Amino acid sequence: MSDKAINVLFLCTHNSARSILAEAALNALGRGRFQAYSAGSSPRENQRPNPMALQVLEKAGIPTQDLRSKSWDEFAQPDAPRMDLVITVCDNAAGEACPFWPGHPATAHWGYADPSEAQGSEEQRLEAFRQTLHAIRRRLELLVNLPADRVDKLLLQQTARDLARS
């Protein structure tokens, strides 16, 4: 690719937990080489990031101040940042018809269980968010440490899909 940041969009249905965790984690890990965004196929009106997702990110030392839930329609606009890679992080979003993404970005699916559906005490529910963040970070650390030649646009899609098996 070039010296510009690689734009990555993480998609989920409501853009309140998994995609928010992925956006924040990649922006923290990406060291300027990656720029992450997140969106949902159908965020609820006045949707906000899940407070437990924000709490887990903050506890991990990952900035949360700019995180907000948004529709994927925002990224299909002509003035939106052009994506290099679009990753679905929930099975619902993976099965939905996505908008047309300018530039034909690479795509991959990294499925994670929804931590916001965890049952039990507050500590058990927080642990579900911590485990999801840990799983996401494990893949993202592999992604950000790829040699430059593995991030070439033609290889990016296969590489991202291979990481789904990690």
Assess whether pLDDT exceeds 50 at residue 63.
Answer: yes
Among residues 90, 128, 136, 160, which one is catalytic? 90
pLDDT in tens, 116-146: 999 999 999 999 999 999 999 999 999 999 8
The tally of CA atoms less than 13 A away on the side-chain side of residue 57 is 27
Helices 18-29 and 51-59: crossing angle in degrees, nearest 10, is 20
* Whether residue 103 lies in the annotated active site: no
Assess whether pLDDT exceeds 70 at residue 34.
Answer: yes
Give a yes or no: residue 41 inside a domain.
yes
The answer to whether 17 touches 2, Cβ cutoff 8 Å, is no
Q: Total domain count for the chain?
A: 1
Span 155-165, average pLDDT: 73
Give a yes or no: residue 1 inside a domain.
no
pLDDT at site 152: 67
Among residues 5, 29, 94, 98, which one is catalytic? 98
Give a yes or no: residue 162 inside a domain.
no
**Tokens at 53, concatenated:** 């997702």
The answer to whether 39 touches 71, Cβ cutoff 8 Å, is yes
CATH code for the domain of 16: 3.40.50.2300
Among residues 8, 9, 12, 67, which one is catalytic? 12
* Whether residue 98 lies in the annotated active site: yes
Give a yes or no: residue 166 inside a domain.
no
pLDDT in tens, 7-33: 999 999 889 999 999 999 999 999 889
Give a yes or no: residue 163 inside a domain.
no
* Whether residue 12 lies in the annotated active site: yes
Count CB-CB contacts under 10 A for residue 38: 29
Instruction: Tell me the C-alpha distance between 28 and 56, whole Å.
Output: 14
Assess whether pLDDT exceeds 50 at residue 71.
Answer: yes
Range of the domain at 41: 6-157
Q: What share of the chain has pLDDT > 90, as a percent?
A: 58
Count CB-CB contacts under 10 A for residue 72: 25
The H-or-E segment that residue 92 falls in is helix 91-94
